[in-house]
Chains A and B, each alone.
Chain A
């Protein structure tokens, strides 16, 4: 049940518990218990809301930054990753295989804010060798959700 439960709330964390119990064919109490377990075990790490800020008229600039670093003895990439992810404007930090080491996802109010973060904070870190900043121009799909297109039922309305 856990996998199915997680698949559903991954898409809709606001789903009613009674409804969850019905569609999974189990008791509501079992759902509550399972959710608590998942939270305690850190399987569920949070309940967020996907917002298209463009539609609110709030200016936001997002960027993906490739960072090449020198790994540190005994600590590998973890220490530098930690120094980076502690900045609140950093959304995500991934260790990446291939041409660079860390991928940092960043959100700021303006272009200037993002660039000054990169030039003042990120590039000046001791072990950072180089950075390449990619500004996001448009989001088509995020968290598995297509942002622009609305679902339209184009089927014939009654068929055998």
Chain B
């Protein structure tokens, strides 16, 4: 039989997270700090709207681009939070999570051989999505000394005459880094100068602990060259509902709608009704969850510094990214031993790009009680390692 697989697909490696997932699944008493989703249940009033829509028999497709009411609420939200104006009719597409928006955005914009700049460490799907769309991912290795922000110089250095898109994954998973106004201004200038589009993945926009989140689309000349991606998973604890959206110039959104229509039809109807409620009446829930994350963040940063592990203060998402370079082990080795010896699961930084070597992603989407137990075990582990070294 001949090879049933396409090289383009077969050549893409599985995520580095899988190995840990497999081990942890067999270890019932392991504590995991390896999760990339909120620990909160979706607020009840939002779930209730989903249930109510089912009771009313809202079980059909919605229009391809999504419920009109939801698109209008998304437009309201972006106006309210970011001061951005989008035409709900032509510039907003409701997708199956932010993930779908990333995928179809790449497919719509890339011709074979065109380059996409992907700053790493970052979420695992950008690079594969670029490849599957026929583009060429060009990795920008972010540096700890810059608190894993993207600098204008790093961007300039990576641009070639084939560069078409910059992926801007901030607030960042896995580092927790954010970009502030000054960073964005400088990046925007380069993008406008060099005529580069930006795919801005702002799924963690509501989870920042310093200033309010700012989008690159707010910078002069940028809205017309930015695909803003966001969704309901992180802000409203709605990961399983699979709902996100893309906003951008009408000509790009129109083509994304075409691919979405052929590939997906429409995002889940129940989720869309629930999401309308989330945007209308969910601000207080978001505020409360943000405050809870912030308390855990302070606790973890403090705990890691007390242990003497280097860790820059992350101001976004729900991850911290401490360095384990002092132990002279790879991230993978450290994480494997931590899991085997102390039964704590974390994700090695390398799962998010080669430059994550020497770091761990630690999620604080867990209760403080849970974090305390885990920190106790991590402390035992590193004390043992330090003794071994002596």
29 contacts between A and B (CB under 8 A): A4-B291, A8-B295, A19-B368, A22-B298, A22-B299, A23-B295, A23-B296, A23-B299, A24-B295, A24-B298, A153-B39, A155-B35, A155-B37, A156-B35, A157-B30, A157-B32, A157-B35, A158-B17, A158-B20, A158-B21, A158-B24, A158-B32, A158-B34, A158-B35, A158-B345, A159-B36, A160-B17, A160-B124, A160-B173
- Say whether B351 faces chain A, with CB atoms less than 8 Å apart: yes
- Say whether B168 faces chain A, with CB atoms less than 8 Å apart: no
CA distance A23 to B291 in the complex (A): 10
- Say whether B88 faces chain A, with CB atoms less than 8 Å apart: no
**A residues adjacent to B (C-beta < 8 A):** 4, 7-8, 19, 22-25, 151, 153, 155-160
- Say whether B302 faces chain A, with CB atoms less than 8 Å apart: yes
A160 touches B123 (CB 8 A): yes
A153 CB contacts on chain B under 8 angstroms: 39
Candidates B15, B20, B21, B299; contact of A19 at CB < 8 Å: B299
Which chain B residues in 11-32 approach chain A with CB under 8 Å? 15, 17, 20-21, 24-25, 30, 32
A22 touches B24 (CB 8 A): no
B299 touches A157 (CB 8 A): no
**Other A-B pairs beyond A23-B295, A159-B21, 13, CB < 8 Å:** A7-B291, A22-B298, A22-B302, A23-B296, A23-B368, A151-B367, A155-B35, A155-B37, A157-B24, A157-B30, A159-B35, A160-B173, A160-B347
Closest to B124 in A: A160
CA distance A116 to B21 in the complex (A): 62
Closest to B297 in A: A23
Candidates B36, B39, B299, B368; contact of A160 at CB < 8 Å: B36
CA distance A158 to B30 in the complex (A): 11
Closest to A12 in B: B368
**B residues adjacent to A (C-beta < 8 A):** 15, 17, 20-21, 24-25, 30, 32, 34-37, 39, 123-125, 173, 291, 295-296, 298-299, 302, 345, 347, 351-352, 367-368
B24 CB contacts on chain A under 8 angstroms: 157-158
B298 touches A25 (CB 8 A): yes
CA distance A22 to B301 in the complex (A): 9
B35 CB contacts on chain A under 8 angstroms: 155-159
Among A24, A25, A158, the one with the most B-chain Cβ atoms within 10 Å of its Cβ is A158
B295 CB contacts on chain A under 8 angstroms: 8, 23-24
Min CB–CB distance B17 → chain A (angstroms): 5
Closest to B34 in A: A158
B352 CB contacts on chain A under 8 angstroms: 160
B21 touches A156 (CB 8 A): yes
B34 touches A159 (CB 8 A): yes
Among A4, A19, A151, A156, the one with the most B-chain Cβ atoms within 10 Å of its Cβ is A156
Closest to A159 in B: B36
CA distance A25 to B297 in the complex (A): 10
Closest to B351 in A: A160
CA distance A24 to B36 in the complex (A): 24
Min CB–CB distance B44 → chain A (angstroms): 12
Closest to A153 in B: B39
Candidates B17, B25, B30, B299; contact of A159 at CB < 8 Å: B17
Closest to B30 in A: A157
B298 touches A155 (CB 8 A): no
CA distance A86 to B319 in the complex (A): 52
CA distance A4 to B287 in the complex (A): 12
A25 CB contacts on chain B under 8 angstroms: 298
B20 CB contacts on chain A under 8 angstroms: 158
B296 CB contacts on chain A under 8 angstroms: 23
Closest to B15 in A: A160
Closest to A20 in B: B295
CA distance A160 to B299 in the complex (A): 23
Min CB–CB distance A3 → chain B (angstroms): 10
A159 touches B37 (CB 8 A): yes
CA distance A59 to B297 in the complex (A): 43
B124 CB contacts on chain A under 8 angstroms: 160
B123 CB contacts on chain A under 8 angstroms: 160
Closest to B303 in A: A22
B351 CB contacts on chain A under 8 angstroms: 160
Closest to B21 in A: A158
A159 CB contacts on chain B under 8 angstroms: 17, 21, 34-37
Min CB–CB distance A12 → chain B (angstroms): 9
B302 CB contacts on chain A under 8 angstroms: 22
CA distance A153 to B34 in the complex (A): 13
CA distance A12 to B296 in the complex (A): 15
CA distance A88 to B271 in the complex (A): 51
CA distance A155 to B35 in the complex (A): 8
B39 CB contacts on chain A under 8 angstroms: 153, 155
B299 touches A158 (CB 8 A): no
B32 CB contacts on chain A under 8 angstroms: 157-158
